[in-house]
Structure 1
Amino acid sequence: MDALETDLVDLERSDGIATVRLNRPDKLNALTPEMVEGLHEAFSRLADEQGIPVLLTGTGRVTCAGMDTEIVSGDYLGEYPDLNETLQEVYRLVETHPGPVGLAGKGAVVGAAALLSLSCEFTVLGEETSFVIPEVKYGISPTRAAELLPGLVGRHAAAELLLTGEEIDAERAQSVGIANDVVPEDEAEARALALLEPIADYDDETVATLVDALAPDPPAERRVDSSI
């Protein structure tokens, strides 16, 4: 295991695959500033490792319940500008990692975790897992999701997810193109690994080239500040 500055995020390596694991199961892996910094540190360490697949998941029954509600229930951008900036950098690090990143979703993939999944090449959800981007309910504009979702799911499904803030189940997430696969809840990590494992044996430069080509086009100039 690679030691990070926080024990709330783990970075492990095995058989050519890195695993980044959120480790706050007693709080459903809800994100704190320390955890966002941990994600930033983990993916920064991996940034030059061409071709290496990465599994992103969480300890316990819920992959991630989003940002801690104590943080988003107030003036998020006003009180946590540095946190938001670091979070945006995490999204970019995941999206630009020179290898495939697969998110294994168990229980719930909420808010910032849902946005992280949009930066991944693979998303596997447990059949009882909910997917939700609830930021509008907190007066937060998830502009990154607004930039990426229409190209993934179409404008109407994107509007439903972003403007209602309501959850969808795993089967609906797969049907609109958010999830690659839906499996029994306790098999989500194994299925995500099954997608990643063969890639670890392929030529690193070839994999990195394909991942770069698959990345979304740079977004148009934002009309509002990006948040969450």
Structure 2
Amino acid sequence: MSDAPTVVLERDGDVGIVRLNRPDRLNAVTYPMLDLIAATLRQAVDEGARAILLTGEGRAFCSGADLSGRGGDALLDPGESLRRHYNPMMRTFADLPVPIVTAINGPAAGAGASIALGGDIVVMARSAYLLLAFANIGLVPDAGGTWLIAKAAGRAKVLEMALLGEKLPADQALDAGLVTRVVDDEALMDTALDYARRLAAKPTVALGLIRKQVAAALSGTFEQTLEIEASHQSIAGRTEDFQEGVAAFLQKRQPAFRGK
């Protein structure tokens, strides 16, 4: 067994690059790895990252749960494993105060599809595919996949994917509204990193609020959304970046946001 960390954090300026690092297992996740993904995302923010790029090492993004070795909780009830490991990891995605770009470099199956689609900007290699394989082994979608796909693509698409358990190619994922952009494989990382760098240069507090605002709008009422917008605008209006943005606009120059 390799002693290499299963999740790796690197820096590119203000971008934290997180790599799933079990290429020999197609980046299949174990319970400890799920916990480490969450911890690494938080670490990136704690160390000052203003945007995160998440991708997989090797030829897959993530093949889902490692059914052959799930760590110390191998005998855990599947529902409890979600509550203890998968759900906290996906909540970490949702709660981060900075935007996330995911670069789907290969197959994203099972929970791997949920992780891939958890990004705010999702860039997909042309050869990659999404797969909700749960029904093929007698389980149901998890890690938020039901919500993520239903909200983005609608009832018909999520039922097709979940009931049939068939691969969804990149171009069809784009047509369904599940991903932001599909690019040739060799252009994937450059394209995703460009997105992440652009996001990292923007007003960080405002972007974090936008993430939460959109998530709330997907489940809330119009009136609730109006109130959330007003509350968030009060917060954004007190930031240094707002002052810089206004000054730059009046002075007809490019703003230099600092994420404060």
TM-score bracket for the superposition, by shorter chain length:
0.7 to 0.9
Which structure has the highest helix share of the two?
2
User: Which shifted more, 45-54 or 20-29?
Assistant: 45-54
Per-residue deviation, 1:76 = 7.5
Contact 1:17 1:200 in 2 (8 A): yes
Q: TM-score, normalised by structure 2?
A: 0.74
Per-residue deviation, 1:217 = 5.2
Distance (whole Å) between structure 2 residues aligned to residue 216 and residue 118 of structure 1: 17
One-letter amino acid of the structure 1 residue matched with residue 191 of structure 2 = R
Distance (whole Å) between structure 2 residues aligned to residue 108 and residue 9 of structure 1: 18
Distance (whole Å) between structure 1 residues aligned to residue 20 and residue 100 of structure 2: 15
Contact 2:14 2:48 in 1 (8 A): no
Unaligned runs of 5+ in 1: 221-228
- Give the corresponding residue for 1:192: 192
Q: 1:218 to 1:210 in 2, by over 3 A?
A: closer
Per-residue deviation, 1:190 = 1.6
Contact 2:102 2:117 in 1 (8 A): no
Contact 2:103 2:116 in 1 (8 A): no
Q: TM-score, normalised by structure 1?
A: 0.83
- Give the corresponding residue for 1:39: 37
One-letter amino acid of the structure 2 residue matched with residue 65 of structure 1 = S
- Give the corresponding residue for 1:145: 145
The structure having more radius of gyration, on CA atoms, is 2
Higher RCO, 1 vs 2 (CA within 8 Å, ≥6 residues apart): 1
> Over aligned residues, Cα RMSD in angstroms?
2.6
Say whether residues 1:59 and 2:63 are aligned partners: no
Per-residue deviation, 1:185 = 1.2
Q: 1:216 to 1:131 in 2, by over 3 A?
A: farther
Contact 1:77 1:84 in 2 (8 A): no
User: How many equivalent residue pairs?
Assistant: 214
Distance (whole Å) between structure 1 residues aligned to residue 134 and residue 67 of structure 2: 11
